[in-house]
């Protein structure tokens, strides 16, 4: 956790308020941040720990409601996977530097990232912005269809969706243990299994 803590401290000192940071284990990192010396600074600046879109599938629903970028205002279309894609590309170096000396390994890695920064990242920036712009326009085009669907379902405004999310979150937080009916059903089933096993007589 020391690396993301260092990053959060740096961006809080520079950009201050209303920031969000995506991390594979953003939910657990949020607890670590709260209990660290940076906790008060993070709260003061309304820092939000988020879970990236790709890694959300490994997290439970309550975690998604609290940390998934989809449900956080201000994140927009960002999936928080930029670093993941960037470092994933560096995996291609593995075969060529596997048996290299430490010096040549570091040299190749540095050369790769310098090249990617100059010739790929900046060169593709226009395409990245264009694709996001087109995606935003397509979302706006769907507003009429969404409004009609909401009206057909009796949903008066977007606040209803926020209320549903809050209700779902409250419900999931209230599930501190399994429902009594399900617990009794499982206990009954287990007793039947034990009874069947005790009555079994092996053939000799």
pLDDT of residue 31: 87
Q: Name residues whose C-beta falls within 8 Å of residue 71's C-beta, 6 or more positions apart in sequence.
A: 64, 65, 165
pLDDT exceeds 80 at position 114: yes
pLDDT of residue 18: 86
Q: Which of 9, 90, 24 is nearest to 57 (CA)?
A: 24
Whole-number Cα distances in Å, 134 to 36, 128, 130, 199: 41, 10, 6, 68
Q: Which of 59, 66, 61 is nearest to 30 (CA)?
A: 66
pLDDT of residue 203: 66
Q: Which of 45, 87, 49 is nearest to 69 (CA)?
A: 49
pTM of the model: 0.60
pLDDT average, residue stretch 117-132? 84
pLDDT of residue 193: 92
Structure-model confidence comparison of residues 190 and 16, the more confident one: 190
pLDDT average, residue stretch 168-195? 86
pLDDT average, residue stretch 5-19? 88
In percent, how much of the chain has pLDDT > 90? Answer: 18
Q: What is the mean pLDDT of the chain?
A: 86
Structure-model confidence comparison of residues 108 and 67, the more confident one: 108
């Amino acid at each position: 956790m020391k690396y993301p803590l260092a990053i959060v401290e740096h961006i809080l000192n520079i950009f201050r308020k209303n920031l969000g940071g995506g991390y594979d284990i953003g939910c657990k990192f949020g607890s670590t941040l709260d209990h660290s010396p940076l906790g008060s600074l993070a709260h003061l600046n309304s820092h939000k720990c988020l879970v990236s879109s790709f890694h959300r599938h490994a997290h439970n629903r309550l975690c998604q409601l609290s940390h998934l970028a989809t449900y956080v205002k201000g994140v927009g279309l960002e999936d928080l996977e930029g670093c993941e894609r960037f470092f994933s590309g560096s995996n291609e170096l593995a075969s060529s530097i596997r048996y290299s000396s430490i010096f040549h390994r570091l040299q190749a890695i540095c050369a790769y990232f310098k090249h990617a920064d100059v010739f790929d990242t900046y060169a593709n920036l226009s395409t990245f912005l264009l694709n996001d712009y087109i995606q935003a326009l397509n979302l706006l085009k769907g507003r009429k269809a969404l409004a009609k669907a909401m009206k057909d379902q009796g949903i008066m405004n977007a606040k209803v969706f926020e209320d549903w999310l809050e209700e779902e979150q409250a419900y999931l937080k209230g599930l501190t243990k399994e429902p009594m009916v399900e617990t009794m059903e499982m206990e009954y089933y287990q007793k039947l299994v034990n009874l069947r096993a005790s009555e079994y007589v092996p053939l000799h």
